[in-house]
Amino acid sequence: MSKQEGISVKKNENFSEWFTQIIKKTELADLRYNVKGFLVFQPWSVLSMEKMYKHMEEVLQRKGHDPYWYPTVIPESNFKKESSHVKGFTPEVFWVTQAGNKELEEKLALRPTSETAMYQMFALWIRSHRDLPLKTYQRAQVFRHETKATRPFLRSREFHWIETHCAHKTEADAFKQVKEDMETTEEVLHKIFAIPFIFFERPYWDKFPGAVRTFAADALNPDGKVIQQPSTHMIKQNFSKAFDVKYIDQNEKEKYAHLTCYGPAISRIFASVVITHGDDNGLRFPWDIAPKQVVIVSIDPKAYKKAEVLKKQIEKFASVHIDYTDRRPGEKFHYWEMKGIPIRIDIGLKDLDKKQVTIFRRDLNKKDSVPEKDAITKIKEIAKEFTKNLIKQADKVFEGRIKEAKNITEVKKIIKEGGIAKCGFCSTDKEGTNCAEKIEKQVVAEVRGTKFDEKEKPKGNCVICKEKANHIVYIAKSY
């Protein structure tokens, strides 16, 4: 590995440049691939994202979802079966039209999402109410020819995600699933990945193409822009009708199934991991998804044996690497800090003399000398606290940036300061469209929706039309 320079800008001063530098300098992805909007994910991100997949899939399987692998390609005719879907996605679809030297009889979409591939199979598999709920998911890449500016990890033309698709007997069951999806998000994104977010119900004008109700988690970047993380949707009956997804109920009556889908985009969530925890010195990873958890930097050959012994002990509960490169100590420290490894153990000559090791922890950026014999206990202790500390720090920043506004002037001020404004609003249904458009024009920010699962009583008036507020909404900038 050649000499690495550090990040030359401050995260909170020039976030966009910080993000680009951190991706390049810590080798998360190479942006020089010669197709626009596509990138080469490098080992340091892939190792972490594989762990993210593992955690998310474990939770999904525990909750009764079974894994499938569907084809990457979807025939055009499937796409056309549901009109809101075709309208929503067609501008972004990559089309396969040739194979070998021949034109295909029907062109094939590179899936932008898989409803139209899956529902036809659901129709074949579901016969009776006993087959429901059908809870499925797949790990997959999806493709969207984004017309907006692409950004590595945040918005690429190919991204790596999980999509769960379920069929239920009733609308109530579907709603229960949506709530379970939100709990899963809390369990995985917040508790394991340490990312703070709010789960919103999206307003009428901002729903997934083909959904009756859309719920989506928004995380917040230092530039004051929210980034949508997993969303979960109650799908319109149009869909089950278009694809004939029906079942015979207990009274021998034929009914259409109620469908839901939930899409955690791992490569995008990874962006939020980087953004939430990274600092001016580089990356920081939550313990369970760190590409490697411990590095031992043994500066002198005299320490190598000790390092190997320590490595063997650590291996039993964490992934560990010894840095045998011939870089100078300062360079090594700097390098591993930038790479965001949770724990670095230095064994210098002084440490050898004193029968101690020096432990640097990246959650608190703190260095301590620990007697050799206590090293393992100390590492285990740090491992246990690590993610909790990141959560605490991240939550504090996040919560500090959500502020109540009584009028549009206050909304503007909050947004200008990079925050999320919370205020009264007339309606998140069709009738509110006008006021929402005005907010977009006046504040250059969006109504992200109403906070889900919290009894926020609307009080006061809509910040735009001054009518009685029926909702408390959150307003923020987005990309």
Q: How far is the CB of 133 from a second copy (least distance, A)?
A: 14
What the block records as the tokens of 199 is 């789960």
Q: Which two tokens stand for residue 192?
A: 């394991």
Q: How far is the CB of 39 from a second copy (least distance, A)?
A: 7
> What is the torsion angle, in degrees rounded to the nearest 10, for the CA atoms of residue 230, residue 236, residue 238 and residue 241?
90
Nearest residue (CB) to a second copy, 76 versus 467: 76
Measured from the CB of residue 143, what is the shortest distance to a second copy in angstroms? 7
CB of 330 to a second copy, least distance (A): 21
Q: Please identify which residue in 14, 20, 24, 41 interacts with a second copy, judged by CB under 8 A.
A: 41
Residue 395 structure tokens = 């939550």
- Count the residues of the shown chain that bind a second copy, applying the rule CB under 8 A: 54
Scanning 84-92, 186-194, 251-259, 292-300 for contacts with a second copy by CB under 8 A, the matching segment is 84-92
H or E, element range at 200: strand 198-201
Q: Return d(Cα 40, Cα 101) in angstroms, integer.
A: 28
In the shown chain, the binding pattern of residues 89 to 108 toward a second copy, with x for contact by CB under 8 A and - for none, equals -xxxxxxxxxxxx-----xx
Rounded to whole angstroms, the Cα distance separating 395 from 382 reads 20
Please say which residue, 125 or 479, places its beta carbon nearer to a second copy: 125
Is 75 among the residues that bind a second copy (CB under 8 A)? yes
Burial class (CB in 10 A: 0-12, 13-18, 19+), 62: exposed
**Which member of 50, 381, 437, 453 binds a second copy (CB under 8 A)?**
50
Q: Is 204 in the site for a second copy (CB under 8 A)?
A: no
**Minimum separation from the CB atom of position 450 to a second copy (A):** 33
Residue 264 to residue 161: CA distance in whole angstroms = 6
Given candidates 22, 28, 39, 445, which one binds a second copy under the rule CB under 8 A? 39
Q: How many CB atoms lie within 10 A of CB 471?
A: 21
**Residues β-bridged to residue 375:** none
6 vs 64, which CB is nearer to a second copy? 64
**Does residue 283 interact with a second copy by CB under 8 A?**
no
Distant-in-sequence, close-in-space partners of 148: CB < 8 Å, separation ≥ 6: 155, 479
CB atoms within 10 A of CB 153: 27
For a second copy, the binding residue among 5, 147, 149, 251 (CB under 8 A) is 147
Binders of a second copy in range 103-132 (CB under 8 A):
107-108, 110, 117, 120-121, 124-125, 127
- Candidates 6, 64, 67, 329; binder of a second copy (CB under 8 A) is 67
Could you tell me which of 159, 162, 71, 87 has the C-alpha nearest to residue 120? 71
| Residue 33 engages a second copy in binding (rule: CB under 8 A) | yes
How many whole angstroms separate alpha carbon 420 and alpha carbon 398?
9
Q: Which of 9, 14, 24, 68 touches a second copy by CB under 8 A?
A: 68
From the list 4, 9, 38, 403, which residue makes contact with a second copy (rule: CB under 8 A)? 38
> Quick one: which of 9, 73, 86, 212 contacts a second copy (CB under 8 A)?
73
Residues 369 and 351: beta-carbon distance below 8 Å:
yes
Hey, what are 239's tokens? 């869909």
Q: How far apart are CA 132 and CA 167, in angstroms?
A: 7
- Interacting stretch for a second copy, rule CB under 8 A, among 35-43, 167-175, 192-200, 379-387? 35-43
Q: Does 155 bind a second copy (CB under 8 A)?
A: no
Q: Are 165 and 118 in contact (CB under 8 A)?
A: yes
Q: Which residues of 13-31 are buried (b: 16+ CB within 10 A; e: fewer)?
A: eebeebbbbbbbbbebbee
Nearer to a second copy, 37 or 203 (CB): 37
Nearer to a second copy, 96 or 397 (CB): 96
Footprint of a second copy (CB under 8 A): 2, 30, 32-35, 38-43, 46-47, 49-50, 66-75, 78, 90-101, 107-108, 110, 117, 120-121, 124-125, 127, 141, 143, 145, 147, 158, 160
